[in-house]
Structure 1
Amino acid sequence: MYQLNISHSGDYHCHIRHSNSISVSDTVIHLSVTANYSQPAVTVYRHKDGSSCLVTCASHGGYPEAKMVWNVPSGQMWNTVNSSEKSDQDTMTFNSSSTAIFNCSKGEIKLLSCSVADVTSNMFKVCTPWEDPPGLPKTMIAAICSVMAVCVFGGMVLLLRWKCKKGLRHGARARSTENEHEQKLKVLTQGNGGEES
């Protein structure tokens, strides 16, 4: 049978007749449609101070209804804070989830899993030590700082050189203009002096 869904579950009256017989027998067959739950997805939230971890296991698309079960090694301090089994109105399958809080005071807790019906999550661990975010190695940071310092120094040298050239050009222009004024004065003075004599 193909393309069955949950609504096809129920009793079916069957009329059976064999090819070499005229007699017909009636029987009732009960059809149970099941659906496998998805592998539980695990989400871990660690408290900012590192004292506890909140863990959620969630699975969907299963039938019949089943509760999420935690597989925790003995001796661990933990508590279930929320569990739910909700029916999807369209597919009539169930979504099952559970949230538990784990005490991290004794350090990392390993070999945890959760399961619903016959499906189990991958093993996971909680309360792992804080890790520094991945970053650049110290030698790389030093190299980048060195390159930046060289660039800044080179930029300053170029800027000073440009200002000096600009100043020289401006000074040369000013001297040139000054020389022109002196020459004009001489010409005027000579011209005036020539008229007097």
Structure 2
Amino acid sequence: MLSLLLPAMLAVQAMALMEVHVPEQPVVALHGRDATLNCSFSLATPFNLSDLTIFWQLTDTKRSVHGYREGHDQLADQAESFANRTSLFPAQLGLGNTSLLLRRVVVADEGSYTCFVRVQDYGSAALLLQVAAPYSKPIVTLEPESNLRPGDEVALTCVAYGGYPQADVVWQDGGGRNLTDNITNSVVANEEGLFTMTSVLTVVLEPNSTYSCRLINPLLGEESYASVTITGQNIAFPPVALWVTVGLAVCLLVLLIALAAVCRRKIKESCEEARREAEEAKELEEEESKTAMTLLKS
């Protein structure tokens, strides 16, 4: 019935005296939550609900979202994707509130909705519904993870899940310098239409460097942040430094061997000198004994 009534409503819409009001700004709804699409009208004279007709439809595709006529919901023509997810506010209808409650919002619900109202006159207005979902905390990984040297080109990957719409990504170094010109972004949607956001930053590696990835949801204004610090301990010595280190180690080893040889020679000489002194003392003692015996005999 509503499908027959709607063309007639549109045909006389130019003659309408009734003003229908909807938000000028887009309605932002969180994925999985309920959203209210506000719509209202005003009449100078009282009216009966039996005279009120309300019709919500998608502006672009003309698919029926919700219908109301003669005091009851009319859902025979309702699009299947909205089944059991829509309702009006019955207690508010007499006050001119024809808002629509849309439950469990999904990404596919995003778009323009038109609210048609008829009492004695006709009126309509359209509003925009936008869907948003916060991203998970980003994870930053480094490729390659080992055998890194200063001057190597490395790829830093920042990944966040379950968000919508596509996020803005900002990369910075430890000094706050914007590195966004060196990134490549990609998005992949899951079965719910939510995005996995991947951003890859390519940089020339410097020791003790910090790189941060910040995702900004343009609809929610929320930011999520992650960073990685590459310390000198994670970076292998370059070839020149390696050979210098090996050379110093060899020199030190040679010095230790030479010092050990000198010490050994000195110890040996000291031992021989002590032995000679002991033999000389023994010989002197024997001579003194012989001299004393000779004096006694004489």
TM-score after normalising by structure 1: 0.50
